[in-house]
Amino acid sequence: MNRLLSTSFVYMILGVASGLFYREYTKATDTLGVDTQLSTLHTHFLALGMLVFLIVLALDAVLSLSGRRSFSVFYWTYNIGLLLTVVMQGVRGILTLDGQDPATTTAAIPGIAGLGHIILTAGLVALFVALRAALKDRAMAGERESVTA
């Protein structure tokens, strides 16, 4: 559970730092107020990083998820997918602020971002597999207790 708390804290730091970076970068390049992918980077870190891992921490405290193989698959694939997605979001935002259109410059940026979303989705599926198994184990334990009582 400490790993989940630490992961959530790291995403909080990244969220705050990316918001600061956006503000300072747009001030330095005279592009303040320009709407790009970079402007929502901090909310992605805070919502998909910090908040998701705080919720998973609470679920782990109640359902003991962290010992399951599917939970480890969730943890690593979700983190990889999220980081890949937000890095590409940052790259696209910076290129847009520099006056380039990333969609026409290269197909690699949206392709890698799409791959990040696919990996993120695989991680979420693994989380639901872990949740289902934990609920099944909890129901089985409840049945055993009622039989012995």
Per-residue pLDDT tens digits for 51-62: 999 999 999 999
- Give the per-residue pLDDT at 108: 86
Q: Find how far residue 84's CA is from the centre of its chain.
A: 10
pLDDT tens digits, one per residue of 70-121: 999 999 999 999 999 999 999 999 988 888 876 666 788 889 999 999 999 9
Closest to 32 (Cα-Cα) out of 45, 22, 17? 22
- Return d(Cα 34, Cα 27) in angstroms, integer: 11
CA angle 70, 57, 2 (to 5 degrees): 95
- Give the per-residue pLDDT at 50: 98
Say whether pLDDT at 27 is over 80. Answer: yes
**Rounded average pLDDT over 36-48:** 93
Q: How many domains does the chain have?
A: 1
- Give the per-residue pLDDT at 74: 97
- Return d(Cα 38, Cα 92) in angstroms, integer: 7
Structural domain including 53 reads 2-148
Closest to 55 (Cα-Cα) out of 126, 120, 117, 7? 7
- Give the per-residue pLDDT at 68: 93
